[in-house]
Amino acid sequence: MNKLPTVLITGASSGIGATYAERFARRGHDLVLVARDETRLNALAARLREENGVAVEVLPADLTRAADLAMVEACLRDDERIGVLINNAGMPQVGGFLTQSAEAIESQIALNVTAPTRLAAAVAPRFAQSGSGAIVNLGSVLGFAPEFGTTIYGATKAFVLFLSQGLHQELSSSGVYVQAVLPAATRTEIWERAGVDVNTLPEVMEVGELVDAALVGFDRRELVTIPPLHVAERWDALEAARQGLMSDLRQAHAAARYQPQA
């Protein structure tokens, strides 16, 4: 019997999600693969079973649909074998803010914000009760780069980072590990869906390198893993500045520069 925790991966039919599936299968983990494309999921599952001798369950679902999201939530709540959740499913922003339809905005927030939050909420109580488990949320460096012009996408990824940091604060004392992975440009199908030729971009990381780096962070139990960041001290400095800002905000009165002039 496989004593390693089963890993549930969303957005698992291609790109980062499929690569996570390959890597965890090599480690001997059974898998639950979630995505919309059942044909691709089945093909991936068959290959991973044959190559690694692990059990792979396919769970076709569109996480922007309430019924499908509820189905995956139920799986996470009820299947005690699942000990790792990889919240990877997401969609890009197509065009600028002024060109977005209400439907496009709603779908992006549903997939990039609502789905990972609800899936984490579905599994966290069980993990906390057992004193183990891991939640990995795929964000993006665009979550702190508004100047790149992907306002909605970047905002959803900023949410993912904050969600991960908040979950860490609430769950770490119960033995639950939370990781935020923040890729930069990575060679996946998301660019084609956004109408961008990835070959025109100056620097793009290969998906295998991205996931392998993320797993190094996972094994080290990092809270925030930024695979393209060479100077780790820059993130440390940003965190230190944030903590300093927080100390300045604990004040009962408005700052002098905002006081009415006599």
Picking from 70, 160, 162, 168, the residue whose alpha carbon sits closest to that of residue 108 is 160
Considering the candidates 20, 153, 177, 258, report the single residue annotated as catalytic. Answer: 153
Kindly list the domain boundaries of the chain, sorted by start residue: 6-232
- Predicted confidence (pLDDT) at residue 196 exceeds the cutoff of 70: no
Query: pLDDT tens-digit profile of 77-136?
Result: 999 999 999 999 998 878 889 999 999 999 999 999 999 999 999 999 999 999 999 999
3-state secondary structure 72-135: HHHHHHHCCCEEEEEECCCCCCCCCHHHCCHHHHHHHHHHHHHHHHHHHHHHHHHHHHHCCCEE
Q: How long, in residues, is the chain?
A: 262
Residues 6 or more apart whose Cβ sits within 8 Å of residue 251? none
CB 91 within 8 A of CB 193: yes
Checking if the pLDDT of 20 tops 80, the result is yes
Percent of the chain having pLDDT more than 70? Answer: 95
- The CATH class that applies to domain 6-232 reads alpha beta
Cα Rg for the chain, rounded, in angstroms? 20
d(CA 74, CA 64): 16
Q: In 3-state terms, what secondary structure has residue 227?
A: coil
Name the DSSP class of 13: T
Q: What is the tens place of the pLDDT at every residue in 218-257?
A: 999 999 999 999 999 999 999 999 999 998 888 888 888 8
Go through 89-108 and write b for each residue having 16 or more CB atoms within 10 A of its CB, e for each that does not: bbbbbbeeeeebeeeeeeeb
pLDDT-based confidence at residue 191 (cuts at 50, 70, 90): low
Q: Are 190 and 15 in contact (CB under 8 A)?
A: yes
The answer to whether residue 153 is catalytic is yes
**Cβ pair 48, 21 in contact under 8 A:** yes
